[in-house]
Structure 1
Amino acid sequence: MSEAINQLLIKELTTSVPDEVSDFAGAIAGTLKTHPLGILFYGSVLRDVDFDGILDFYVITDRPVSLSGNGFARWANHILPPNVYYMEHEVGTRVLRAKVAFLSIGQFLKRSTLFTLDTTIWARFCQPVRMVWVRDGKSADHILKAVSQCVVTASCWAALLGPEKGQAATYWHELFTKTYAAELRVEKKGRSRNLLAGREERYRELLLHAWEQASIPYQEDENACLYPVLTEKARVKAIRRWQHVAATGKPLNVVRLIKAAFTFTDGISYLLWKIQRHTGQVIQVSNFERKHPVLTLPLFLWRARRLRFRSDA
């Protein structure tokens, strides 16, 4: 893996976070019978510190883990990771809330390559992330390898699916727009641009280093516009492959929503909070829907889809 990419990511992964976040991560590690390799912190609260929001953690383990005694959850974590749980932690007088995903290092590496049909992992971990708890140096190296692989995979897709020529930010913007669509995510229009705001140089550096790592030649003009040199055959093949990825992504995420109903405490409330936070819109649900989230999931998805179309209008 590129030494330049690794150096950039090491600096990013080891950047300090608020003590509350480190304390929460330590508490999560302490609840497990076997310590994980490490815990990654990412997402909206990392970008804009807001402890009234939901923190996002990924717990990277040696092998697949399920905190639930539920047989379906154990099976599903092997077939379609990660398993995700809602957790709370008291720090002083403050109650922090988090969405905590469990992923084995093998699952992480497998889903961070160009060959995976699942965009969930590489699309998240090409974005800024912090390693807020780690077992030892060897564990840190394994996680760094996986995160680096995510950056290269995302950058390759950005070149293959992006414009023939454009600013570095344009390649990332178009890529994130495509991954949101593939994952059936409800996001405000222009959400991908917000991810890049103030971090344009970071994304540009990683993009160029990743193209070099992947042997994608490129040219750059006087206006800092990039031109990855790709054959028409490569682009056509990539578009066909992405159509398969996009067609697979929506069913995968519907299944993940069903999984959440079995592992989340009051998962419907979390989904409603997430939609309101990202769109400013509120979906009203009945007590029956809260008590029977799996049975009423199709209705919930239909309303969320309508809300997405309105937010894009």
Structure 2
Amino acid sequence: MSAPPPSLLLREHVVGDDVRRMAQDIADRHGDTVAAILFYGSCLRDESGAGILDFYVLVDDYRAFHGHPGAALANALVPPSVGFVPGGQSRFLGAKVAVIARTQFTGRLTRDALDTTLWARFCQPVALAYCRDHECAAWVERTLSRAAATAMDWAIRLGPVEGRAEDFWTALFRHTYAAELRVEGGGRAGQIYGFAPREFDDAFARLSPPEVEALADGRYRVHLDESERRHAQARWRRRRVTGKALNVLRLCKALFTFDGGVDYIVGKLERHSGQTIELRPWQRRHPLLAAPGMVWSLYRRGVIR
């Protein structure tokens, strides 16, 4: 089932032929263990360019996908594993491919997950570039609804007491960005909302729990006890510490498991920060040993936050 109908997508988005072909090629190379491939990011927002696609590949079994027990173990311990697929005949340069098991993906979309990365990413617009069958498509739709519900739950606990949907979403994304090692500047939260304001406004209205009162002027008021807000903030502080640590682990793993990972990571940091990053020869030869010092240096320079 390579071309699911738009009604099964979290966002009503028709995936272009180049995107669909690249996703199908990934599925064909790895067989039936690939349940679905999610397409998100800048190229989803504008497929007219020739950049790098962002795919999340949801699999049933790591060993079946990777073929090597070491790679499967690394992915199971610190998911996802990230690779790069060249664009070939496509107009795109290629695709950044993150691979994660369905069970681990689902577990990281809940309110209790310490890792905020996945639900924060997939409460945003996303399309289904490939799906194995209708059963998997229904599972994707149910699973992504968890990401939206989790995002909404945190948005009303970390956001303002009163405001518009935009105020709640941008406050949430400022918190989630602060829980990761990010290159983008402080205005990114507003940009994320600005990419799909109608979708975010509709989601806020549709998912609002009883604690949220809709006012007449398009604003919302949240009725929560102050003690509940303080408890949520304490829980979030733990996620912020955990998130930074997980990002460092994933960065270190990518230096080994991602072919050309050093150059890809450096290129991305330079594009987003506007700063030049020079690596010494020994840092290229021993990326794991160099990683802690490099991360600290980049943090002090403001390249990552």
Instruction: Supply the RMSD in Å over aligned alpha carbons.
Output: 2.2
Distance 1:144 1:154 in 2: 16
Distance 2:48 2:245 in 1: 32
Name the structure 1 match of 2:36: 38
Choose which of 300, 303, 307 in structure 1 pairs with 2:294.
Answer: 300
Distance 1:105 1:9, change over 3 A: farther
Q: Secondary structure at the match of 2:31?
A: coil
Name the structure 1 match of 2:16: 18
Name the structure 1 match of 2:3: none
Name the structure 2 match of 1:211: 208
Amino acid at match of 1:168: A
Name the structure 1 match of 2:61: 63
Distance 1:68 1:282, change over 3 A: farther
Matched ranges for 1:68-83 at <5 A: 69=68, 71=70, 73-83=71-81
Amino acid at match of 1:184: L
Distance 1:51 1:28, change over 3 A: farther
Q: Deviation digits for residues 246-304 of structure 1, max 9, x if unmatched?
A: 11111111111111012111111111222223223332222332232112112321232
Matched ranges for 1:212-251 at <5 A: 212=209, 216-251=210-245
2:9–2:128 contact (8 Å) kept in structure 1: no
Matched ranges for 1:175-186 at <5 A: 175-186=172-183
Give yes or no for the alignment of 1:290 onto 2:284: yes
TM-score normalised by the chain length of structure 1: 0.88
Q: Secondary structure at the match of 2:95?
A: strand
Q: Deviation digits for residues 17-63 of structure 1, max 9, x if unmatched?
A: 22111111011111103341111001122123365422110111123
Give yes or no for the alignment of 1:166 onto 2:163: yes
Instruction: Give, in angstroms, the shift of residue 76 of structure 1.
Output: 2.6
Amino acid at match of 2:78: L
Count of aligned positions: 299
Amino acid at match of 2:56: Y
Q: Percent of counterpart pairs with the same letter? A: 38
Instruction: Give, in angstroms, the shift of residue 244 of structure 1.
Output: 0.8
- List runs of 5+ in structure 1 lacking aligned partners: 1-7
Name the structure 2 match of 1:253: 247
Amino acid at match of 1:125: F
- List runs of 5+ in structure 2 lacking aligned partners: 1-5
